[in-house]
């Protein structure tokens, strides 16, 4: 049996991203690693460049601290940002197709996060490219399921810096 044709926007991502038959817990774990590891590498690279330019690392300032900050990062932001992401992403997908929609969505989120700290967008674009691609794949099966999967991956993504901030390491 011939292998199904992969949509163009998924050709640069691992094959499992397009497989909605994958066990969901494993899918979420693999997608989280796909968002986390490159964004950590990007954060390290951007941090090194910023240290070379400014002599010190720069990080976004948050209005909350402690457990409230952890709640905002790990639970509130993934839910709200996913709810905000869906309508423009689906509209862009309808107008331009999945690849431009995912790319423009990621770029928009990079710009939005850069408003807090300009270099932050250099790190944020990658996870949002993956989130957008996942949502476009899963919406074919169930938009609600796709949103929950993206929220779960996003929450896990944000848990790492949330824990670092709680521990005082970031």
pLDDT of residue 7: 59
Q: Is 22 exposed, middle or buried (0-12, 13-18, 19+ CB in 10 A)?
A: middle
- Supply the DSSP symbol for 73: I
Number of other CB atoms surrounding residue 148 within 10 Å = 16
Calculate the dihedral angle through the C-alpha atoms of 170, 25, 90, 110, rounding to the nearest 10 degrees. 10
**Could you write out the DSSP letters of every residue in 53-70?**
HHSS------S--HHHHH
Region 91-110: mean pLDDT is 95
Query: pLDDT tens digits, residue range 114-160?
Result: 888 788 888 899 999 999 999 999 999 999 999 999 999 999 999 99
Q: What is the mean pLDDT of the chain?
A: 88
Of residues 59, 104, 54, 83, the one with CA closest to residue 154: 83
């Amino acid at each position: 049996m011939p292998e199904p044709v992969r949509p163009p926007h998924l050709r640069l991502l691992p094959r499992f991203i397009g497989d909605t038959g994958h066990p969901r817990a494993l899918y979420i774990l693999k997608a989280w690693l796909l968002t986390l590891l490159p964004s950590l590498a990007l954060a390290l690279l951007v941090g090194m460049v910023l240290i070379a330019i400014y002599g010190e690392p720069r990080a976004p300032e948050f209005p909350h601290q402690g457990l409230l900050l952890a709640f905002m990062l790990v639970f509130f932001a993934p839910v709200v940002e996913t709810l905000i992401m869906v309508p423009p992403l689906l509209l862009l997908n309808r107008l331009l197709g999945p690849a431009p929609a995912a790319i423009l969505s990621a770029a928009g989120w990079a710009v939005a996060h850069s408003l807090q700290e300009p270099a932050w967008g250099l790190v944020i674009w990658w996870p949002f490219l993956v989130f957008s691609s996942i949502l476009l794949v899963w919406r074919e099966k169930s938009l609600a399921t796709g949103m929950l999967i993206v929220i779960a991956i996003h929450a896990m993504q944000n848990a790492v810096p949330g824990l670092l901030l709680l521990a005082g390491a970031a």
